[in-house]
Amino acid sequence: MTQDQSFAPADLQAAQQMSASEAIEYHYDNDTAFFSLWLDPTLSYSSGRWHDPMTRAPIAADLDEAQRRKLAFHLDAARVGPGHSLLDIGCGWGAILKAAISERGAASALGLTLSRDQHTYIEETAPEGASAILQDVFSYDSEARFDGAISIGAFEHFARPEMDRSQKIAVYRDFFERLHTLLNPGAAFSLQTIVWDAVNFEESKKWLPQTVFPQSDIPFIDEVVEGANPTFRLAYLENDPQDYALTLEAWVANLRTHHDEIVERWGEEKFVWFERYLRNSRLAFTRRKNALARFVLLRR
Ligand SMILES: C[S@@+](CC[C@H](N)C(=O)[O-])C[C@H]1O[C@@H](n2cnc3c(N)ncnc32)[C@H](O)[C@@H]1O
């Protein structure tokens, strides 16, 4: 979508008929200028890191700091350093790519995204060494092998709503097998994803926000572990709902601060739709239907 184009919410039937790329474009190609009004300056569209997972002590005073902490966590976990080559699966507007080059001295950082707006933005703003391609990770192949990988907030899009548990695990296994061939031996993969938490499998399907993120279902932790096990060793795992609830609270507050500008530029319907979805998402975390999981996995 281009700037000032109006947003039309999809009904369930329309959402169920979208292809994977259309589903991503429907949500993410809503004008980078719109997202930049309520995300942090790095345009991170995923949970920040607000707490120490052991002590529960706060480690961030606001959204900007929580996002910087999140980026640092993943760069540490994927062991990104001078000369390193990094693959970021679902790179959004490129926050990790830029930090890998400018803060850690990585030699190269390549992102994959299905969003045209994000791809264009990265092409226009990325420092030398950072780049992105508009491609589905499930069809991506490369001669070069990477020293590490990060994926934040993309894994939620890999499985489809109609899939049963074994089908979901098969998709995740396929993903990890592909990643295995893209990484050098011993490479670390830092994965952050929303997970189902205090719900059983049947309930999870009823809670799916199909008109917000069409064609997507999120994993249970054990599905990720089963999918990864043949090709990756689990080195670290944390699971907590609070970081995302705080992130969503900050996004809603920012959105409301810009209410008048958003309505003037993109219309009331878009403001209402995004505000409702962010509030409902927060409820899913405070009621513990969802939690946020961070995995560090080592290539076997
Ligand atoms: C919630 S955004 C997160 C973006 C970024 N990692 C961040 O934290 O700001 C999800 C990202 O995953 C990407 N994505 C989802 N499914 C994908 C797939 N199959 N292949 C490549 N990218 C995908 C989207 O295009 C988008 O960039």
User: What residue has token string 């499930």?
Assistant: 138
Q: Give domain 15-299's CATH number out of 1.10.3720.10, 3.40.190.10, 3.40.50.150, 3.90.226.10.
A: 3.40.50.150
Looking at ligand 1, which atom is closest to the CA of residue 150? Answer: 6
| CA 28–ligand 1 middle distance (angstroms) | 9
Q: How far apart are CA 53 and CA 218, in angstroms?
A: 22
- Core vs surface per residue 209-235: b (16+ CB within 10 A) or e: ebbbbbbbbbbbbebbbbbbeebbeee
CB of 106 shorter than 6 A to ligand 1: no
The string of DSSP letters for 70-117 reads: HHHHHHHHTT--TT-EEEEES-TTSHHHHHHHHTT--SEEEEEES-HH
The three-class DSSP label of residue 251 is: helix
> What pTM was computed for the model?
0.95
Predicted pLDDT at 14: 77
Q: What is the side-by-side strand order in the sheet with 130-134?
A: 130-134, 108-113, 85-89, 146-152, 183-196, 290-299, 232-240
Q: What distance in angstroms lies between residue 46's CA and the mean position of ligand 1's atoms?
A: 10
Cβ of 292 below 6 Å from ligand 1: no
Q: Is the CB of 152 under 6 A from ligand 1?
A: yes
Q: Which two tokens stand for residue 73?
A: 């966590």
Tell me if 22 CB under 6 Å of ligand 1: no
Q: How far is the CA of 55 from the centre of ligand 1 (A)?
A: 30
Q: What is the pLDDT of residue 102?
A: 97
pLDDT values of the chain reduced to their tens digit, one per residue, 300 residues: 444 456 777 877 777 788 877 777 776 777 899 999 999 999 999 999 999 999 999 999 999 999 999 999 999 999 999 999 999 999 999 999 999 999 999 999 999 999 999 999 999 999 999 999 999 999 999 999 999 999 999 999 999 999 999 999 999 999 999 999 999 999 999 999 999 999 999 999 988 877 777 788 999 999 999 999 999 999 999 999 999 999 999 999 999 999 999 999 999 999 999 999 999 999 999 999 999 999 999 999
Q: Tell me: the pLDDT tens digits for 261-274?
A: 999 999 999 999 99
Q: Domain residue spans in the chain? A: 15-299
